[in-house]
A and B are shown apart, each in its own frame.
Chain A
Amino acid sequence: MRVAILMPAYDEGARLARTLVELAKHADDAEMTVFVVDDGSAERVVVDAACPLRVVLARHDVNLGQGAAIETARRLALDPRFGGAFDVYVTMDSDGQHRPEDVIALARAVVDGGADVALGDRFSGRSAVPASRRWLLRGARLFERLTTGLALSDAHNGLRAFGPRAIAELRLTQNRMAHATEITKRISRLSVVEVPVSVRYDDEVMAKGQKASGAVTVVVDLLQGFLFGGDRS
């Protein structure tokens, strides 16, 4: 199974290196290429030459946002210079909140299960989701159901797997966190499965995670995309 990992990184430092090492340990028979996009980190991302995975590194010279970094990684993953055709494309965060075992589970759901898209569902897994985050995600889930018509258990989980057909259609125009809603809109007509996953919530993850105030920014970004173009769906 040839897996492309799309991994945005912003000021992750040592966490990125740890994530790559863990990913390599659990790769099993999967042939992984990790597309790391440094989204304008204050200190440039450097990948250790001893890293046991094939890593393609690109850098945004300015910070654009997670959605923009995922889109750049997507284009790199489809670029023939770096292999071109993979069996499955998985987006995951670089801060260590996602478990490598779940990456493989999602990839299998697409490659063996035949789904176009597999989404991580932290509420069915063993994640100890903090109460504040739980309420925020419930709101996001309701918002996406109303705006996209897709009823998901977990609206904004960064762990997602896409088959070749789905990734080709997933051209993201939202640079910041509104990309999650944009993805849900894009995949609403494809076959989607949800896979239970665990998300780690340590202090570092909580400090960098989405805040309630970010929800307002998401709505404003989506509205601007709707009014001024860019939102193709």
Chain B
Amino acid sequence: MHPEITPAAVVLLGLLAVLLLHDWTSRRTRQRHLWVQAFVFVAGGVLIVFPEISRTLARSVGIGRGVDFVLYPLVIWLVRESLLTRRRRHEDEARFTEMVRALAVANAKIVTDTDPPRTP
């Protein structure tokens, strides 16, 4: 099994390195998650340099192309991320609404009171 260092592979490896560096320096993720991320990035790098690995793995589980073997889990992960983002936005909107409403209710005023209601 020989490495395939194409121009596309160089660009993708560079992109992976930038993303990994960004995650490590931003320090928003917990240490344990950082190691998991590092593993995913390294695995990604290996699959880029040695595409034959993904081809072999794909064929062993009945998927025709190596690229599809990587693509399918990626699509599932993207859908999950998209749903999580939408849920967060939905929850944020609900909190924001309650905040705006609380202000509105607190500052509400009787602006005309020509006929105040009697006690029923």
Query: Residues on A close to B: CB < 8 A?
Result: 2, 31-33, 37, 47-62, 64, 68, 71-72, 75-76, 79, 82-83, 85-87, 173, 175, 224-225, 227-230
Contacts and interface: CB of A to CB of B under 8 A. Distances in A.
Nearest to B106: A58
Interface string B92-113: 0110010011011101111111
Contacts, number: 92
Nearest to B83: A227
B99 to A, nearest CB: 10
A220 B103 CA distance: 28
A49 B107 contact: no
Given A79-B105, A230-B94, A55 B87 contact: no
A53 B115 contact: yes
B108 to A, nearest CB: 4
Contacts of B93: 175
Interface of B: 83, 86-87, 90-91, 93-94, 97, 100-101, 103-105, 107-118, 120
Contact of A82 (B90, B101, B110): B110
A57 B104 CA distance: 9
A57 B105 CA distance: 9
B115 A58 contact: no
A7 to B, nearest CB: 13
B114 A52 contact: yes
B104 A54 contact: no
Given A31-B117, A58-B107, 6 more contacts: A57-B109, A58-B104, A58-B105, A60-B101, A227-B87, A230-B94
Given A47-B112, A56-B110, A59-B107, A224 B101 contact: no
B55 to A, nearest CB: 38
A190 B94 CA distance: 27
Contacts of A47: 111-112
Contacts of A82: 108, 110
A49 B117 contact: no
Contact of B101 (A53, A55, A68, A228): A68
B97 A54 contact: no
B111 A75 contact: no
A61 B103 contact: yes
Nearest to A57: B111
